[in-house]
A and B are shown apart, each in its own frame.
Chain A
Amino acid sequence: SQQGEEDPQALSIQEGENATMNCSYKTSINNLQWYRQNSGRGLVHLILIRSNEREKHSGRLRVTLDTSKKSSSLLITASRAADTASYFCATDNNQGGKLIFGQGTELSVKP
């Protein structure tokens, strides 16, 4: 069963704009991880944020975590056509490190 829900399911923006994707989950977590997946390829790890952290940055990526609202957001700044992919959030619910994934957000960045 899926734990998280991503919002929106699909997002289309112009190159240079910012893209924001949201993730909500149901149970308490140890950490939350964001992944990217190009069509037909494996998952690429983007960033991990622990339950005691509120915000993390990595290059053009900014992730926030609000454990009181059980939600996270991924912001991609100054998007590029190469950012076009599906983005998934996944939660580690302290069950041996296994991740529970959401359905993903399909991002399309138009040049």
Chain B
Amino acid sequence: GAGVSQTPSNKVTEKGKYVELRCDPISGHTALYWYRQSLGQGPEFLIYFQGTGAADDSGLPNDRFFAVRPEGSVSTLKIQRTERGDSAVYLCASSFNPGNTIYFGEGSWLTVV
């Protein structure tokens, strides 16, 4: 595709439920990043994939958060037992190689009620 694609664009879920957010990076980009952004704040790093492997998951807040990229392209961010504090915009980004320009998707707005 022309850009980074994220689905769903909006998700409202009840506290305690499980959520999956999907990211389709720019074709040919080897590096994929997940960020989280709360209102009025800058994006915070969650996890980074190089190919299929998670090269750096130091930003995941706790073990309720998990992400996969099984074939080195599409990635899924999974959140278990959602809490109201998980409400935020989840941004996915990709780059051709680490150290190159990073391009962001439009984000998935998650609201936990």
- Decide if B107 is an interface residue (CB 8 Å cutoff): yes
Contact assessment for B99 and A42 in the assembled complex, using a CB-CB cutoff below 8 Å: no
For B107, the closest partner residue in chain A by CB is A42
Contact assessment for A96 and B43 in the assembled complex, using a CB-CB cutoff below 8 Å: no
- Find the residue from B42, B50, B95, B98 having the highest chain A CB count within 10 A: B42
Contact assessment for B56 and A45 in the assembled complex, using a CB-CB cutoff below 8 Å: no
Interface residues of A in 11-62 (CB under 8 A from B): 30-31, 33, 35, 41-45, 48
| Min CB gap B40→A, angstroms | 8
For A35, the closest partner residue in chain B by CB is B104
Query: Interface residues of A toward B: which range?
Result: 20 to 34
**Which of B35, B44, B101, B106 contacts A48 (CB under 8 A)?**
B101
A101 and B55 alpha carbons, distance in the complex (Å): 19
Known A97-B95, A99-B33, A103-B41; 9 more pairs at CB < 8 Å: A4-B42, A33-B101, A42-B105, A48-B101, A92-B99, A94-B99, A97-B98, A98-B48, A99-B102
